[in-house]
């Protein structure tokens, strides 16, 4: 199967598969987040999701894709560290604030921080239209969080701590977006 995957790279078939996998991943990500914030303990739920994710993906990782070389293996260790930190911040945020506030803050902060970091650290330049697009995307998502925040009944300190973890999660989204690329 790994030969087939390599053979479709850069082809329309590969683009379709990549698009499908990206959309499926986004859906799964939202479902995992909702499950983690559900009525059960967020740590237990996150652990159960990650355990089954490892069990279900292990056969693919072990038998269908090529083994990584040393440089790639080192990068994969970095991926694990960054994603683990992200998952911990999400659990901490979900413990302290509502899903309808935390999730939009994380998802709205991530793209904005990614573009700002690309400008500062990688000297990338974006047009005014691109900045406007990021502002609309992040702003719209953050406005959803602000609207949901108006209905929060938590004490202000707990809510601030939860929002702090959510912003940290958004920064980690920017880090893993850049690092994974």
Mean pLDDT per block of 10 residues along the chain (181 residues) reads 81 91 86 75 81 90 86 91 92 85 90 91 92 94 86 80 93 88 70
Q: What per-residue confidence (pLDDT) applies to 1?
A: 62
Helices 42-63, 12-37: crossing angle, 10 deg rounding: 150
d(C-alpha 176, C-alpha 53), whole Å? 18
Q: Report helix, strand and coil shares of the chain as percent, to nearest 5.
A: 85, 0, 15
d(C-alpha 163, C-alpha 157), whole Å? 10
The tokens describing 119, both together, are 């400008």
Q: Are 124 and 118 in contact (CB under 8 A)?
A: yes
pLDDT digits (tens, 9 = 90+) for 12-33: 998 999 999 989 988 887 887 7
pLDDT digits (tens, 9 = 90+) for 137-167: 999 999 988 888 877 777 888 888 989 999 9
* Residue in 38, 141, 33 with CA at minimum distance from that of residue 87: 33
Q: Are 180 and 78 in contact (CB under 8 A)?
A: no
Q: What per-residue confidence (pLDDT) applies to 53?
A: 86
């Amino acid at each position: 199967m790994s030969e087939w995957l390599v053979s479709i790279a850069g082809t329309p078939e590969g683009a379709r598969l990549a698009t499908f996998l990206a959309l499926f991943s986004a859906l799964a990500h939202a479902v995992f987040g909702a499950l983690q914030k559900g009525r059960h303990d967020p740590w237990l739920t996150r652990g159960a999701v990650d355990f089954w994710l490892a069990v279900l993906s292990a056969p693919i990782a072990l038998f269908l894709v090529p083994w990584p070389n040393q440089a790639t293996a080192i990068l994969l260790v970095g991926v694990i560290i960054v994603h683990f930190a992200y998952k911990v911040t999400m659990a901490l945020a979900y413990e302290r604030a509502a899903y309808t506030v935390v999730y939009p803050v994380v998802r709205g902060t991530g793209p904005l921080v990614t573009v700002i970091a690309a400008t500062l650290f990688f000297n990338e330049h974006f047009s005014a239209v691109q900045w406007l697009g990021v502002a609309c995307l992040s702003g719209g998502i953050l406005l959803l969080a602000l609207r949901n925040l108006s209905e929060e009944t938590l004490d202000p300190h707990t809510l601030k701590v939860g929002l702090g973890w959510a912003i940290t999660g958004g920064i980690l989204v920017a880090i893993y977006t850049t690092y994974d690329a």
